[in-house]
Each structure stands twice: as structure tokens, then as C-alpha cells.
Structure 1
Amino acid sequence: MFVGHALLAFAIAALAADWRGWERRPALTVGIVAGAFAAIPDVDVAYALVGLLEWYAADGALEPTAAFWDASRGVHRSVTHSVVVGALAAPAFGLLAVRGRSARLATVAGVALLGSLVASAFVWHSPVAAFVIGLFAVSGVLVARGVARFSSLAPTTVALAALVGLLSHPWGDLVTGSPPNWLFPFTAPGLDSRVVLHPDPTLHLLAAFAIELAVVWLAVLAYCRLADRSVLDGIDRRAGVGAAYGAVALAATPPTLEVSYHFVFSILGVGLLCGVVRGPSTPEFDDLLSRRLRSYRPSSSGTLGVALTALTAVTVALAAYVIVYRLAVVA
């Protein structure tokens, strides 16, 4: 989900800029900036390193992975995932992107606003929350200053991009774990447990994975639109090999949110192999294809073609897995 947060914000901001008539380069830039800000709330997992230190101190009493996530539960998806915090932090980050004569005054105002968020977290929650908000603020400052140095985006645009990124982040967590504390420091009504997409835990995971995959597709389609690249021309026919992944449903333990690593890594591995590995091409083999199919062979190569082929392969693999699971396992 970490990547999905950034890609969703990128797509929203870039497509909004395109809708407003922006040129390609600034539209892509504002999308990238929004994506960078959307990744910042997950800096709270850095506190989970405490769990690893405790694991070493306890001489391996827990598994390192369990220790890491157990320590993260106290702060992850809490203060940094609040839309209230995001709404206040976004203009502060915009102030930190001010250039010229007003930069010093704007920087002071932005740092003061971020400092008030740290102080509020300390008072309303705990020193740990204040520490996490501090990491959140420092990360945002680095992004804002980097944008000010390496781009020509106006501070107000930076603030809006930050707003899109920070406010779009919490909603992607509703189906994969405990809901974020999205109104911190206030009590959030409802949403006290994750949204269940299906009572079968495996189908719930597959649906959540499909949502994540759809977000990736949205970002890729947004880029292709702005870069004036054809999606179909970038997909190689070897993506169809992903259909063989359906057999995994018969051989492997059905994945759930609690145990999903084997599914996630294997299906992404299939996509990577389909995207990177190129099979032999001969005139005899090509003659077996109809003219219609050959018209969809990629006319361009490179990173985009690899990404599109890999993404298509993962999509085909997911569809095949779902079909086999429903027909052969659940039935």
C-alpha cells in the first residue's frame, strides 16, 4: 500500500492539472510532488525500529518481523494519517517552498505551524506521537525545500499538491488494516474496524490487491495520457503467460491479510519476469498470429513497455487466480 498512496496522489494531481489545461511537464511535476507528500504519513513506521531494538535486547524472544509490526501498531496510522493534521501541514509546507525576499519570513511561519503540530501531539497524545509528528514534519520540509530548489512550482501549488497527497493517504488503509485515526486529535466517528470486502479472508485480500492494482493502472494511464503514449502499443503478448499463475491456487496455501507474503511476492515475480524476459521471436511463430494481433505488438520498448507488460501480466495472473480459487477451492 505504500506505493499505492503515492501513485493515487500522483494520478489525482496530474489529471487535475491536465484538466485545467496545464502543459505536460508541470502537470507531471505537480503529480510527482503530490505523490511524494502522499508517502510522508507512513514515516511513522520508523518508530517500529524500536521493536527491533527490543527484539535484540530480549535476545530473540520474538521473531524480528513480529517485533517490528507489534511496535508499529501503537503509532502507525494514527497522528500522521489525520486529515486535520494534513490540512494544517499542507499550507506550512507551501510556506517552506517560498522563494525570494519573503522566503525567510515564510520559513519562520511554516516552521512555527509545524512546531505547533508537534506540541499538540505531545499534549493530546504522547511523547511518541510528538516524535512521529516530528519525523513527519522533517520529511515534509525536505520535500518542500527540494521542490523549491529544483522546480518552478508556485508555493500555493506546492501547498495544494501537499493537500492532495496528505488527504488522499488515509483512505487506502481502510481495507488492509486497522482504520487510521483520520480526525486526530478528535475522536473519529465510525470506522472502528477495517472495511470487509468479502467474508472469505482470501477473497478479501484478493479484492484489496485488485484495488491496489487499479490504483497503479490509474497512475500509469495518467502518465500515458500526459506523455502522449499508447497503452496498447506498450503491452507485449508475453503478458498472457500470467494466466498460468491460476494453478498456484491449487498448490499454495490461500493467502490472507495475516499471511500474504507468498502470494504478493510470487504474483509480482510473475509480472516482473513477463515484463523483463523476452522470448524468442521467429518469422514462423509470427506467421501464426493474425494481422489483428500483430497490430497490437509493441511499437516502442524501454521502461514504459516493461512496466505495462508486467502490470498486464499481474492483472491476468490475479484474474486467473481468482477464477481457479472460486471454482476449484471455494466450491
Structure 2
Amino acid sequence: MMVGHALLAFALTALVAHRYWPTERALLFGVVAGAFATVPDVDMTYAVIGLAQAGLGSVWTMTAAFWGSSQLAHRAVTHSLVVALIAAPGFVLITGDRSRRAIGTIVLSILVWIAFAKSGVIGAGVMFIFVLVGSAVALVAVRRTDLEPRALLVAAAFGLLSHPFGDLFTGEPPQFLYPFDTVLLHSRIALLSDPTLNLLAIFALELTMAWFAVVVYFHVRDDHRHDERLLGHIHGRATLGAGYALAVVFLPAPTLDVSYHFVFSVLAVGAVGVGPKLYPLQPFHVERDPKTWLCTGMAAVTFAILAYAGAYITA
């Protein structure tokens, strides 16, 4: 759901900001919020240790080692609403003058020490990486945009606070109130009882977030660029994605526990987006517009998911 976190944060913040700000400013505000929404997932860097320990082997062995190691730190230290409420102003303070930077450094350092006291060296290490990446996002945002501290604080807070809720459908639920021991949810939320259909529903949910972000982008841009239309960027070759229905025969049914073969292969269908256009008078024409690549690729993946789901249900 990492991409979904960023896309949803971008879409919601840009859509609201567009009511009050010009187009470019609203889009930049959304991009900054989306960037902050990805920061909590830096805790996955710890999983690299498990991958290194496993060494080269089968895809299944390596992925099992990767995710097994990640569970030791993932969705705990950085996926906390408490941490987000402290980190967001800390990141903004880091971008200020000398006195504010000093306060921000103290605030963020306290988070690292709390993680050390609660989760030891591993927790402190994960929190340290979280602090570094979040500070980098804030500094880049200040240098590349005209967002004032208050707007930056809203973007940072929304991105960090919204992230944990997107993880309720996959894996273990986040520790919303870390470092406190209070547990809000003990298990993930299942959308459907069938494990394969549940995975497809979650994948479709993230795909919906992607389409929402695209629709918001075109809506915001449409105020002064009336030639921009979403459907105009979806080529008919996207329907080729329906051929993915054959994967029901050749690939084992995916679940949340074993989904890599499905996720990687269905995303590969998106390559249709950069394929050539064929015209009677222009036999080979490569589309040069990245928006068309993206929209056509997403449409192809959408057709693939729908076709696969239909084939699985009727199989």
C-alpha cells in the first residue's frame, strides 16, 4: 500500500487546497503531503538485514526472509499517531532559523531516545532513519515550494497521520499509539472471506486510489487547460490487459501471504502504456506523452484485475 498512501494523501490535500489556492500551489501542496505519507515506510530498511542474512536463493526464500525480518520493526515505531503528532512540528521546525532548528533537533532527538527506551537499538535505528528522511522531505519542500510553515505543518501532519490507516487491510495492524502499550486493533481487516478475492479487493482499492489521484490531477489542471481530458489519454490498447485472465490457469491463486507472483505480473501488464500506436498511414508511432503512458498502463492493469477476478470466480 506504500504507493496508495502517497496517492491518497496527494489527492485529498490537492483537492481541498485547490478551493483556496492557484493550481500549481495546490498540486505542490499535494505532492508534499504525499511525500510525507511515504516516510513511515522507511522502517522497511530494517528488513534488508533479513534479506542479507538469507543470501541468494529462491524468490520464495528471499521474500520470506525479507518480510519476516520486517515484522520485527515494521508498522510499529513509525506508524504511530503519537509519533506523527510530535514528528510533524519537529520536521517543520528543522526548516526554520537557528533557534527553531535547535528546538526541532531536540524534539526529533527525543523521539529517537523514546524509541531506544521502548524498543532498544533496532527501534532507535528505525526512528533515526525516519527522522532523517522526514527532515530531508521538509527541507526539500521548503527549498522547492513557496509553502509557509503552517501549510508545511498541515501537509506533514496529514501525510504522517493518514499513513497507518491504509495498512489496516494488509499484514499486522499498525501500533497506532506507540510507544504506549494500548492496542486498538489485534488483527487486520478482511474485506472478503475468500483469501484470493480479498487480495484482489485490496489491490483494487489501491488501484482506485491511483485513479482518484489521476482524476484529481486532471480536475485541478482543467481550470486553465481545457484540452486536458482523462479519457483522451487512454489508448484502446489498454484492453489488451484483459488477456491476463489466462493467469488463472498458469499461476497459483494469490493470497496476502503469497502474492508476489501476482503483483509483479499484473503490474507488468502496465507496460502496455508505453507500447506503440498503430495507424494506417503511420504504421509505427510511439506515444511521447508520459500522461498517456500512465493512464493507458493503469487502464490495462484495471482490465487485467477485472478479467482475472471474473475468471477466478467462474473457474
Pair in the same fold by TM > 0.5: yes
Matched residue, 2:131: 137
SS in 1 for 2:176: coil
Matched residue, 1:92: 90
Indicate conservation of the 8 Å contact 2:176/2:184, yes or no: no
Matched residue, 1:234: 233
AA in 1 matched with 2:257: E
Return the alpha-carbon distance in structure 2 between the equivalents of residues 54 and 245 of structure 1.
Answer: 35
TM-score of the aligned structures, taking structure 1 as reference length: 0.87
AA in 1 matched with 2:64: A
Matched residue, 1:303: 290
Q: Which residue, 46, 69, 72 being the options, matches 2:70?
A: 72
Indicate conservation of the 8 Å contact 1:175/1:196, yes or no: yes
AA in 2 matched with 1:255: P
TM-score of the aligned structures, taking structure 2 as reference length: 0.91
Farther-moved stretch of structure 1 (84-93 vs 182-191): 182-191
Percent sequence identity is: 45
Return the alpha-carbon distance in structure 2 between the equivalents of residues 83 and 191 of structure 1.
Answer: 14
1:1-331 aligned at under 5 Å gives the runs: 1-19=1-19, 21-56=20-55, 63-98=61-96, 103-228=97-222, 229-272=228-271, 274-282=272-280, 302-328=289-315
Indicate conservation of the 8 Å contact 2:112/2:127, yes or no: yes
Provide, for residues 176-201 of structure 1, a one-character-per-residue CA deviation record: whole Å limited to 9, x for no partner.
11111111112344411111111211
Return the alpha-carbon distance in structure 1 between the equivalents of residues 28 and 182 of structure 2.
Answer: 34
AA in 2 matched with 1:152: D
Give the C-alpha shift of residue 92 in structure 1: 1.0
Return the alpha-carbon distance in structure 2 between the equivalents of residues 45 and 251 of structure 1.
Answer: 31
Return the alpha-carbon distance in structure 2 between the equivalents of residues 17 and 97 of structure 1.
Answer: 22
Provide, for residues 167-218 of structure 1, a one-character-per-residue CA deviation record: whole Å limited to 9, x for no partner.
1111111111111111111234441111111121100100010011011111
SS in 2 for 1:169: helix
Q: Structure 1 unaligned segments of length 5 or more: list them.
A: 286-299
Matched residue, 2:225: none
Indicate conservation of the 8 Å contact 2:10/2:31, yes or no: yes
Indicate conservation of the 8 Å contact 2:88/2:153, yes or no: yes
Indicate conservation of the 8 Å contact 1:239/1:313, yes or no: yes
SS in 2 for 1:181: coil
Indicate conservation of the 8 Å contact 1:97/1:158, yes or no: no
Provide, for residues 231-275 of structure 1, a one-character-per-residue CA deviation record: whole Å limited to 9, x for no partner.
111111111111222222233211111221221122111122x21
SS in 2 for 1:80: coil
Indicate conservation of the 8 Å contact 1:250/1:325, yes or no: no
Give the C-alpha shift of residue 88 in structure 1: 0.9
Return the alpha-carbon distance in structure 2 between the equivalents of residues 36 and 181 of structure 1.
Answer: 21
Farther-moved stretch of structure 1 (226-235 vs 64-73): 64-73
SS in 1 for 2:177: coil
| Alignment RMSD (CA, Å) | 2.0
SS in 2 for 1:153: coil
Provide, for residues 126-148 of structure 1, a one-character-per-residue CA deviation record: whole Å limited to 9, x for no partner.
22111111110011111111122
Indicate conservation of the 8 Å contact 1:92/1:159, yes or no: no
> Cα 1:262–1:60, aligned 2, differ >3 Å: closer, same or farther?
closer
Give the C-alpha shift of residue 124 in structure 1: 2.5
